[in-house]
């Protein structure tokens, strides 16, 4: 049986904060990482991130930033933490270096609810991808927290291009590597070749994960959790197989088989 605790990312594709709290509470101790998209952020803003962090989860912010480099930079700057940076920047500017190691100061940092991972779409181009790293790094340094991982979305698992999917993913993975990002989001069907090309330090996030016999829904390129991990995935993203289950914990166990 697979141990998914350090690999499973549950997609919080639900509609209310009540559903968020219920699911995260149910999965507490079994799931570390939760993916949040505009589906929740458009309605509830940073509050949803704060709920997940307060309940012990880590946030994978999947907004697929794709814009001019300046906008991508400041989008990643703003997304690095869900707290208020203006007040904290003011505090930091007056604190002696030694005081920043004080436990009280660290508690203020913790209240910022740092984000674990952010997505940028590779269509932003190499310059846009570089800007993403620049923005996140600047904000993290201001807040004295670790920079979130930044991964480039190569090709959606709902897409089935006429051209060679592997060729597209590998080309965009090269852009990601050149720009200094941490890795890519791609299907497990391309993950093995990405791992071979870019080495063990390159992060690979694979959506489109389905247990055997489960409907692919709108996904075109799907695999099982085991197939994804065997192909080199660091993280697997799972939504509907868990969200639609009467027993989410059993659904996770089924993924592990």
Active site amino acids: 64
Contact 164, 189 (CB under 8 A): no
How far, in Å, are 38, 95, 136, 254 from residue 12 at the CA level?
10, 38, 23, 19
Q: In whole angstroms, give the CA distance from residue 136 to residue 159.
A: 28
Q: In whole angstroms, give the CA distance from residue 72 to residue 23.
A: 31
b/e map 181-201, b = 16+ CB within 10 Å:
bbbbbbbbbbbbbbbeebeee
Q: Which two tokens stand for residue 43?
A: 């309605």
Q: In whole angstroms, give the CA distance from residue 11 to residue 57.
A: 12
Q: In whole angstroms, give the CA distance from residue 44 to residue 159.
A: 29
Q: Nearest CA to 53 among 91, 83, 76? A: 83
| Chain centroid offset of residue 139 CA | 17
Q: Nearest CA to 237 among 212, 211, 205? A: 205
Q: Which two tokens stand for residue 80?
A: 């690095």
């Amino acid at each position: 049986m697979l141990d998914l605790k350090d690999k499973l990312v549950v997609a919080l594709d639900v509609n209310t904060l009540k559903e968020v709290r219920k699911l995260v509470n149910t999965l507490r101790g079994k799931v570390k990482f939760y993916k949040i998209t505009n589906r929740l952020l458009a309605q509830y803003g940073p509050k949803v991130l704060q709920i997940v962090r307060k309940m012990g989860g880590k946030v994978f912010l999947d907004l697929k930033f794709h814009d001019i480099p300046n906008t991508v930079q400041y989008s990643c700057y703003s997304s690095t933490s869900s707290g208020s940076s203006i007040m904290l920047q003011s505090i930091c500017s007056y604190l002696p270096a030694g005081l920043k190691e004080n436990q009280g100061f660290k508690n203020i940092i913790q209240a910022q609810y740092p984000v674990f991972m952010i997505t940028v779409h590779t269509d932003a181009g190499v310059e846009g991808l570089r800007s993403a790293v620049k923005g996140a790094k600047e904000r993290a340094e201001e807040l004295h927290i670790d920079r979130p991982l930044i991964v480039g979305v190569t090709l959606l698992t709902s897409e089935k291009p006429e051209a060679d999917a592997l060729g597209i993913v590998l080309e965009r993975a090269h852009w990601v590597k050149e720009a200094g990002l941490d890795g890519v989001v791609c299907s497990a069907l391309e993950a093995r070749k990405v791992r071979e090309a870019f080495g063990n330090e390159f992060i690979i996030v694979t959506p489109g994960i389905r247990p055997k016999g489960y409907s692919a829904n709108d996904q075109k390129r799907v695999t099982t959790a085991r197939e994804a991990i065997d192909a080199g995935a660091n993280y697997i993203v799972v939504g509907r197989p868990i969200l639609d289950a009467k027993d989410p914990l059993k659904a996770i166990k089924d993924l592990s088989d």
